[in-house]
Amino acid sequence: MMGHEFVRKSLELNLFFARIAKEHAFFIEVALPWKNSNLVQEADMYKNEFANLLAEAVRLADGVLSQDFLNAGEIVTPLTLDAERASEFYSGYPLNTEITLAELTLGGAVNPNSKTLVDEVVSLNQRAMALTTGLIGFKSRLLNDVLSCAVFNFNYPLLLDHILREACFYLNMLEGIQSNVTLDPVTDLVQQEIFWNRIMAEHAKFIRGFLDPTEEQLFNTADNFGKQFDALTTQAQMLINQPSSIPVVTEESRRATTAIRDFKTQGTEGLITCQIRAIAHPLLGDHVVREANHYLRLLSLS
């Protein structure tokens, strides 16, 4: 697979997940008290290292990937830049918005793949695997410290567990691509639906928890999404033994994900314009919008 498919899958994966990982580090960084300045500095290091990785992926991807992928809203959205600037303002911690500007101007496929590009992408994947392995260790230590009351932070323990699972998922995908592992399409689809339906359910629950108590309507909407995706996760798990039901569950997942994506988009706009009362950074809103867009693209490929 060390050709066009390898390059495409690798760059698509890294463009999406390297930004996700960079933002995970930012969310950890801004949620820790200064007493734990060593952890703040470690999170900042991972934020900067993933920013460098993402910048390299952007450089390699220009003129290589399809315009449809670049327009899917999973690597950047029309709200990303404003969300970053607002979150920088609120937190005082810098974000490299130059990468976002570069992503907004990425061009679609015009250049043929070359041996040099393949070698560069192999190297990019190796760097991503090493960096993600380190991030997994950092998140695991932090989660254990939080659960044992050795460290206080403003992220829910479930959120820390959530972003740890996403990092493990990223690493597993990288290892599969780098090792040229061919997955059964049906099995892969079922595993993706199990994973992402759970992620969508938890997003809804985090949104519910970050809202001000006065935002009752938004609270109830988020709560309903959480219950809906919990049910879809259970249905997806049953597909392992009931593959004939895949089209029905996939369509239900697609409809629900479209609805929660629109809800998240409205919420992100509300956070950016200060129209929603909540204790969430605008970038967290845009972050979960992109994850929904990513999942929708995966569902569209089924």
pLDDT tens series, the chain, 302 aa: 468 889 999 999 999 999 999 999 999 999 999 999 999 999 999 999 999 999 999 999 999 999 999 999 999 999 999 999 999 999 999 999 999 999 999 987 766 567 799 999 999 999 999 999 999 999 999 999 999 999 999 999 999 999 999 999 999 999 999 998 887 888 999 999 999 999 999 999 999 999 999 999 999 999 999 999 999 999 999 998 898 999 999 999 999 999 999 999 999 999 999 999 999 999 999 999 999 999 999 999 87
If one looks up domain 183-302 in CATH, what number appears?
1.20.1260.120
pLDDT score of 60: 96
Phi, psi of 77 (to 5 degrees): -125, 170
Tokens of 73: 């809203």
pLDDT at 110: 67
Domain span(s) for CATH 1.20.1260.120 in the chain: 1-179, 183-302
pLDDT on residue 4: 85
Report the CATH superfamily, name and number, of domain 1-179: Protein of unknown function DUF2935 (1.20.1260.120)
pTM: 0.96
Using CA atoms, how far apart are residues 22 and 24, in angstroms rounded to an integer?
5
Looking only at Cα atoms, what is the longest distance across the chain?
Answer: 58
CB atoms within 10 A of CB 85: 16
